[in-house]
Each structure stands twice: as C-alpha cells, then as structure tokens.
Structure 1
Amino acid sequence: MKKPMLSCSGLSVKYGRREALSDFSLSLAPGEIRALIGPNGSGKSTALQALAGLTRPVAGSAAIGDRAVASMSRREIARHLAFLPQQPVAPDEMTVEQLVRQGRFTHVGLFRSYGPRDEEAIRWALESTGLADFADRGLRELSGGERQRAWISAALAQEAQILLLDEPTSFLDIGYQIEVLDLVYRLSRERGVGIVMAIHDLNQAMSICDRISLLEEGRLVFDGQAHALADSGLIEKVFRVQGRFVQLATEAPPHFDVHLSRWRDITP
C-alpha cells in the first residue's frame, strides 16, 4: 500500500458554537482522486480548509507525509499542497502566464529572480493544462473552462503534488466541466498528483474518483469506493431523494451513473 501523502485524523472545526466538522479522517495516496460529497453545509469546504491549514481545528490533526500541517509555515505547505477555492479572483488584465508565475512565488520569494528551474516549472504547468498557446492572453479573454484551467496551472507551478479543489466545476457549462474533470483525471494518472475535490455532482464524483467521502452535518458517514456507496442506500438517505444507480457497460470511467428520473423529496 502506498504511503499517504496527505492524511488527517479526528479533525473537528467549530465556528463559534457551531460544529462545522466533527471527527473527520482521511488518507490520500499518490495519484489518487478523492471526492468529498454531501448536501450544502455538510462540511466539505471546511474539511478542505482544515487539510490545507487555513482553518485551525479544535481537535484532531492533519499531516503532509510525516509532518503535522500545524507545525509548517504557509510557504512550506505551499511547496507540497495547492488549494483552489470555489471562486478565485485575479485582475482581468492579468495574463495567463502572469497568473501561473504567481504560483512560483513560494519558491522564488521576494528577492530572488526566476531561474531555469522556475521557468521550466512554469512551462510544464502551462503545457500540462493545455494553455501553452494561451500564455499571453488576458484572463478576461478566456472561457470559464479555460480560466479554471489557468488557476489549476498556477497551482501546478508550485510543483505541489497535492491538489485540493473546492467545487472546480461549479458555474461552468457541461462542456467545460468535462474539460476540467479530464484534466484532473490526467494529472492524477500521468503525474501522480493526489487530489481531494469537493463536488456537488454525483455523476462526476462517481466517474473519476477512486474513493468517496460522504459528509452529513459535518460528520463522515461513508468512506470507500463508488460501487460500495451505490449499494449502501446512503445517497437516498443523506440527500433525501429517491433514485437508483445504473452500472454502465464500459471499460473506462464512469462505472456508475445516477438515474434521476424519480428524484423527489422524501418525507421523514
């Protein structure tokens, strides 16, 4: 079994008196994609922020390799882990390359100029996301999918082997959603990047993720593979819907799909 590159145990987070995350645990292997799913307010974004060291837990701990995240500086964390929030913001006049160059700041700092290794990392990040020909374009000129790829490219320029994505397909048309998911899948399989992704779309989670964590009111109620979740009945219970999973006759992901024709609220 591969040694975890990112893990946490017993993470609990409170906002005031409200417990947003309770006793959450996770282990991420190199090249693995893990989905965090659950209704709005179930703790998905809070879990990502705690894993990234952006939110201080009241209990439990997260670790990158053998090091506790709480013991690392932001710059140290950024050398291993990149976090992409739901709606990142940058000036529209900024070019794609300028955005990606910002991803190297953790290695360059304030007083060192970009060296050959930095330039190579920037080139690799642009090529890995299919944006080499877009380097001189302003962000305002990009489609939604291209802009999201630009942000992922900036994260890759950090040379981070752990990628945390908060709803990376939200507000995108279906074509751009597929574009972003295909990139995520290729990064994991071809580059060995470990990815934790909070996502609303169950079909997308089932399609590309190796493991799924289902959260309900801040608590982890399922942690396992897609086929086990499909057989558990927990989707219907947690999301308060009716439906069924359909196994697809295909060798490639997705392996399961959600049939939505009968989805409706369930009266408790």
Structure 2
Amino acid sequence: MPLSCSNISVAYGPRTALNAFTLSLRKGEIHALIGPNGSGKSTALQALAGLIKPREGHALIEGRPVQAMSRRLLARHLAYLPQQPSAPDEMTVAQLVRQGRFAHVGLFRSYGPRDEEAIRWALESTGLTGLADRPLRELSGGERQRAWISTAVAQEAQVLLLDEPTSFLDIGYQVEVLDLVHWLSRERDVTIVMAIHDLNQAMSVCDRISLLAKGELVFSGDPGDLAKTPLIEQVFRVRGTFVHIASGAPPHFDVELAQRRSPIRADTA
C-alpha cells in the first residue's frame, strides 16, 4: 500500500477543517477528492503530504509515518503540487524540472548520469523537450502546469498529490493535463490523488472517488457506485441526473439548470 491515512483530524483554531479522514490507496490508481469549496480537499492533501500536523490520526507511506520522515526522504516517495505553485518567471522549463532531482542529489552534490537521464525523460514524457529553454513567463497555462508535473516526474516519486491541477485552464489544456495524469498512472504505475472541482472529469478519469462535505468523508468508492446515490445533489445542492452516454462509459452528471425550467427572455421594446 503506497499511501494511507487513518482518522486524520485537522483544526484551524476552533474550526475543524477535516474530521476522521481515512483513505487507503492502491498502487497505480487515480483517486479523486471532490466536494464543495471549504469541504476539506486541500487540507486532506496537505495532511497526506506531511505539510500540516493533524490533531489526531496519521498518514503512512510504504508503512512509515509521514510526519517522522525528513522532507528530503519523503520527497523521494511523494510529490505534492499545490493549486498555484510559483517560481521566478525568468526560470526556464529545464531549470524548473531539474529541481525535481534535489531530493536525490541534495544541495552540494553534482548531477550524475542517472539524474540527467531522469530530467531528460521527464521533459520528453510530458512533451516539453522543445520548450526546455523557454522561460516560464512565455508559457501558456497548460504548458506551465505540464512543466510543474514534469518536475514531479523527474523527482521519480511513486505518489503524486495534485490540488486542482485543471483550475484556471481552458478545456483543451484541461484534457492535456488529465491525459498526462492518466498516462502516469497507467504507464508508470504512479499513484495519484487529485482534488478536482469538475465532477464529470473525476468520473471519467479516476478509479475511485472520495466525496467530502464540511470536513467529513461522506463517500469513498467506485464512481459508478457514487452515481447510484443522491449524495451529489445533497452535498452540492443541485438538481441533476446521472446518465450513461454509451455502454461501458462512466456516468455523466447532467445538471438541471434553472433556465431549463424557466427560460430567461430578453426584454423587448
């Protein structure tokens, strides 16, 4: 089991942001965390990454407590990509991706052939070889997101935590990023936990889904099983229906918009 957590609770002052959160991941799977804003998705990822200390519970990676591991040692196993990572705009793609090897080489050892090969492969596998010398400021949103994921690939971590990786991207770049995530899972056996807002993207690309509401885990399991419950309507407070567009395809949640019931008409003179 590459990563798991048991009964993690996190509080910010008097407010409980996450309560008794439990998760077990299978090697090579894509696991989605969904829920409204403020439901605890980002807090759960940060607890899994060892960035915040839970009030209760613990996270384990390869059976070892995350909190007991040094940041460098943990980085050899796990990579975390926040919602809006930052780096100097003048930094090139290759320079950013090289940072992914810091967990392996440290600050004072030079890069060896194994490191250079990992960097080359990371750029190639994410389609960024041709952009290696380009400054980050010249990249599109999708290219920049791919550069950050490439950094995690160079890190050679077997667990990747992504916080809203498709936010602020247009639909074409969203598909690019999700295709890359799917490829890392299927071809490289990377275990991925992804907080994501788009329910239908989660249903289509993820093997399992956890639904959070006000810091509580209200569902964890197969996307098809979630579609059999009324939880999406209840948690997100929307009306809609899960439909199957094609045989064998994942269910798609069709929101019932207010305009369908009462069309908005322009005023006429």
TM-score tier after normalising by the smaller chain length: over 0.9
Shift of 1:248: 2.2
Q: What is the TM-score when the length of structure 1 is the normalising length?
A: 0.95
User: What are the residue-to-residue correspondences of 1:36-185 with 2, within 5 Å?
Assistant: 36-185=33-182
Distance 1:55 1:239 in 2: 27
1:258 corresponds in structure 2 to 253
Unaligned runs of 5+ residues in structure 1 are none
Unaligned runs of 5+ residues in structure 2 are 260-269
Distance 1:108 1:117 in 2: 10
Q: CA 1:144/1:44 → structure 2, altered by over 3 Å: closer, same or farther?
A: same
Matched, 1:244 2:256: no
The alignment of Structure 1 onto Structure 2 pairs a total of residues equal to 259
Match 2:30 to one of 26, 30, 33: 33
Name the SS for the 1:188 alignment partner: helix
Name the SS for the 2:228 alignment partner: helix
Match 1:6 to one of 3, 15, 24: 3
Distance 2:125 2:141 in 1: 18
- CA deviations on 1:15-73 (whole Å, 9 max, x unpaired) are 11110000000111111000000000000000000000000001000000110101101
Preserved CA contact (<8 Å) 2:238 2:255: no
Name the SS for the 1:182 alignment partner: helix
Preserved CA contact (<8 Å) 2:219 2:226: yes
Distance 1:119 1:57 in 2: 37
Distance 2:42 2:117 in 1: 32
Match 1:225 to one of 203, 222, 225: 222
Preserved CA contact (<8 Å) 2:79 2:161: yes
Percentage of matched positions with identical amino acids: 72
RMSD: 1.1
Preserved CA contact (<8 Å) 2:239 2:256: no
1:24 corresponds in structure 2 to 21
Distance 2:256 2:118 in 1: 46
Distance 2:168 2:54 in 1: 30
Greater Rg by CA: 2
Letter of the 2:252 counterpart = D
- CA deviations on 1:82-141 (whole Å, 9 max, x unpaired) are 000000011111100000001111111111000001001101111111111111111111
- CA deviations on 1:217-250 (whole Å, 9 max, x unpaired) are 0010000011110111100000011000111215
Moved over 6 A (4+): none
Q: What is the TM-score when the length of structure 2 is the normalising length?
A: 0.94
Letter of the 1:37 counterpart = I
